Chains A and B, each alone.
Chain A
Amino acid sequence: MARAAVLGRLSWQLGTVVELLPEATDVKSIVLEVPAWVGHRAGQHVDVRLTAEDGYQAQRSYSIASAPEDADLVLTVERLEDGEVSTYLVDELRVGDELELRGPIGGYFVWEEAQGGPLLLVAGGSGIVPLRAILRHRAAAKSSVPARLVYSSRSLEDVIYRNELAGLEAEVTLTLTRVWPDDWSGRRGRVDTALLQEVAWTPAERPLTYVCGPTGFVEAVAESLVSLGHEPARIKTERFGPTGR
């Protein structure tokens, strides 16, 4: 097991929004200057707290999209239908606004070069966010650990970091599940056992695997990897969203 984190109290602190970047349909990156930020490891998340004038508060967790080496802290947020916090962050937040957050949180779904690889990163939708932090960290650290990314998106317009992915020096397999352009020559359909058998590492190569996405996606991918013979203990998962039940 990886090292344990020893933390003092995680205090709420203020960051200032310095840039807002549209990334995909309903998805924005929030670039924050956080003076008291203590640094983070790729894959960790923060808690964000919003406060209304009457004192009402709402909190949610968001994965950190930036690498530890990046100058600013970046959160990439998808607006969820009915999302109390995500609708504010995507629709209302402006450059110059302040945002209250605390972190970094989580020490398990994290990658540092000493953990080695090869890396297999499997993302569904906005599950790409912490995996992008891992890939940016790997690139910034000039790591020689090989990495493969399998990324499933509903349509090309939903692909987050589309222009950046090719430059991250990983083998990227992008699959579109619902809609694709007429001239789309890439993969279509869900990430299933056959696709993973074809593009993931073999079990003998013992990849260190990170799977992030909606619950159904993560369940299916993790089951497929285990059925192909990958070691469950080397598969780290992070899930979000409802089960639909």
Chain B
Amino acid sequence: MSFVSRGFKGRRREGGDSSRVPPGQYLTDDFPVLSAGPTPHTPLDQWTFTLRGAVDEPRSWTWEEFRALPSETVTVDIHCVTKWSKLDTTWTGVPVATLLDGVETSADYVLAFSDGGYTTNLPLEDVADGRAWVAFEYGAEPLDPEHGGPARLLVPHLYFWKSAKWVRGLELREDDKQGFWEMYGYHNYGDPWREQRYSGD
């Protein structure tokens, strides 16, 4: 490394487990909020979660039906492209694999869609293999609207913009259609361990 910022010492992490912090990230105990517009407030009696697109037939769950599905409580580390990481966050949600169970599809990709118009794209295998949830509790409390409640996608192995807030469903696709931030130059996949922040990284 050739360039050195004159006079910069930096604050070394103390006590933190640096093996759990991806390159370019710093640890925070707060839970910062990032979203592109006003927070939507969809009443639960109007909320549904839908699988559509390249599926044998679209499926949809009401809030009650969704909440009756078996859920898991997981403790995971999350990494935001704006550089903060937060360790040991606890969520409860329905595994996406459970929602996809029995679905016949020719799709290789999903486009998650949300209230407010937000979308994000992911390979189907990244949400179908037990590493993704539709989360409705954070820290044993109902998920706050500003953090994506009533339910958000949780895909902690990718940068957190992939964990779409206010998620309302997945569109299964044979082709890979860019989502909201991906169209604005953010990385198509977003692996924090390979520091895939922006297109071309």
Q: Does A167 contact B (CB under 8 A)?
A: no
From residue 160 to 217 of chain A, which have CB atoms closer than 8 A to chain B? Answer: 215
A51 to B34, CA, bound (A): 27
With A105-B198, A223-B38 as contacts: A14 and B3 at CB distance below 8 Å: yes
A222 to B116, CA, bound (A): 13
Q: Does A77 contact B (CB under 8 A)?
A: no
B184 touches A107 (CB 8 A): yes
Stretch at the interface among B6-14, B58-66, B104-112, B127-135: B6-14
A50 touches B10 (CB 8 A): yes
A240 to B180, CA, bound (A): 19
Stretch at the interface among B23-31, B148-156, B167-175: B23-31
B side interface size, CB within 8 A = 41
A59 touches B24 (CB 8 A): yes
B30 touches A88 (CB 8 A): no
With A222-B38, A242-B31, A245-B31 as contacts: A7 and B9 at CB distance below 8 Å: no
A8 to B200, CA, bound (A): 6
A236 touches B30 (CB 8 A): no
A106 to B197, CA, bound (A): 11
- A58 — which chain B residues lie within 8 A by C-beta? 10-11, 26
B31 touches A88 (CB 8 A): no
Q: Which of B37, B83, B181 contacts A59 (CB 8 A)?
A: B83
Q: Does B117 contact A (CB under 8 A)?
A: yes
A242 touches B30 (CB 8 A): yes
From residue 226 to 241 of chain A, which have CB atoms closer than 8 A to chain B? Answer: 226, 232-233, 235-237, 239-241
Q: Which of B3, B38, B181 contacts A225 (CB 8 A)?
A: B38
- B9 — which chain A residues lie within 8 A by C-beta? 52
Nearest chain-B residue to A107 (Cβ)? B184
- A98 — which chain B residues lie within 8 A by C-beta? 3, 5-6
Q: Does A55 contact B (CB under 8 A)?
A: yes
A51 touches B5 (CB 8 A): yes
Nearest chain-A residue to B25 (Cβ)? A59
A4 to B4, CA, bound (A): 35
Q: Does B44 contact A (CB under 8 A)?
A: no
Q: Does A157 contact B (CB under 8 A)?
A: no
A226 touches B33 (CB 8 A): no
A56 touches B12 (CB 8 A): yes
- A93 — which chain B residues lie within 8 A by C-beta? 7
Q: Which of A50, A56, A61, A106 contacts B185 (CB 8 A)?
A: A106
Q: Does B191 contact A (CB under 8 A)?
A: no
B83 touches A60 (CB 8 A): yes
Least Cβ–Cβ distance between B122 and chain A, in angstroms: 18
With A51-B4, A84-B10, A245-B30 as contacts: A239 and B185 at CB distance below 8 Å: no
A243 touches B4 (CB 8 A): no
Q: Does B17 contact A (CB under 8 A)?
A: no
Least Cβ–Cβ distance between A237 and chain B, in angstroms: 6
A100 touches B3 (CB 8 A): yes
Nearest chain-A residue to B24 (Cβ)? A59
Nearest chain-A residue to B29 (Cβ)? A242
* Cβ-closest 8 pairs across A and B: A242-B30, A9-B200, A107-B184, A222-B38, A4-B183, A5-B185, A50-B5, A215-B33
Give 26 pairs: A residue, B residue, CB < 8 Å, sorted on A: A9-B199, A9-B200, A10-B201, A50-B5, A52-B8, A55-B1, A58-B10, A61-B82, A61-B83, A92-B8, A100-B3, A106-B184, A107-B183, A108-B181, A215-B32, A222-B39, A223-B38, A233-B37, A236-B36, A239-B32, A239-B33, A239-B34, A243-B30, A243-B33, A244-B30, A245-B31
